[in-house]
Chain A
């Protein structure tokens, strides 16, 4: 896999995970504790699925991208 495509997969994984996480505060506010926990676990499971199916494979193809993720997080707090 091309390194640029691998990085785009990683960015898409983070972007999707961010959008799903943005729902957590609203779910917590509007749902019962039990419903919230179900949704939170569901979101976590979905993020894990995306990470496994996309991000891990991209990093496996280009291991140096893990260091780039760490560097971006340290500098910007997010993946640029």
Chain B
């Protein structure tokens, strides 16, 4: 009887671990898709048609405001926050991959803007908000 219960407990633990891994994998996949969308210049701040309209939820017009570089920064920081909230030991490399394109943006010569934005991105991503 005890042996049967122990086997049942062990099976339950394995089942829950497997279910957890499946859910974690789904989160990872979604983050990768989001990361890809950001790299393709996806802008979550771009306005959408309000709910109740025939095209409700569809993208409309451009985001405007800070221009392309500003929009990209906002999007990348948003992804960085999501990675931070997902939390895993692999975060450092993922955060580096996410944030380093900020250092490649065209800026005025001798500008320090990229360094500061990269710094903010890494700290957001690694949850090191000081």
- Residue picked from A70, A72, A77, most chain B C-beta under 10 Å: A77
Binary contact track A44-76/B, C-beta < 8 Å → 1, others 0: 110110011001100110000000011011000
Main secondary structure of the interface of A (DSSP, over half): helix
The verdict on A24 contacting chain B, using a C-beta distance below 8 Å, is: yes
Binary contact track A20-39/B, C-beta < 8 Å → 1, others 0: 01001000000000000000
Cross-chain contact A73 with B103 (CB below 8 angstroms):
no
Cross-chain contact B112 with A79 (CB below 8 angstroms):
yes
Whole-angstrom CA separation of A79 from B107 in the bound complex: 14
Cross-chain contact A48 with B96 (CB below 8 angstroms):
yes
Cross-chain contact A60 with B130 (CB below 8 angstroms):
yes
Binary contact track B49-66/A, C-beta < 8 Å → 1, others 0: 000000000000000000
Instruction: Choose from A21, A52, A56 the contact partner of B115 (Cβ within 8 Å).
Output: A21
Residue of B at shortest CB range from A17?
B115
Residue of B at shortest CB range from A45?
B96
B residues with a Cβ closer than 8 A to A are 96-97, 99-100, 103-104, 107-108, 110-116, 118-119, 122-123, 128, 130
Subset of 18 A-B contacts with CB under 8 Å: A13-B115, A14-B112, A14-B115, A21-B103, A21-B114, A24-B103, A41-B96, A44-B96, A44-B99, A45-B96, A47-B103, A48-B96, A48-B118, A56-B128, A77-B111, A77-B113, A78-B111, A79-B112
A residues with a Cβ closer than 8 A to B are 13-14, 17-18, 21, 24, 40-41, 43-45, 47-48, 51-52, 55-56, 59-60, 69-70, 72-73, 77-79
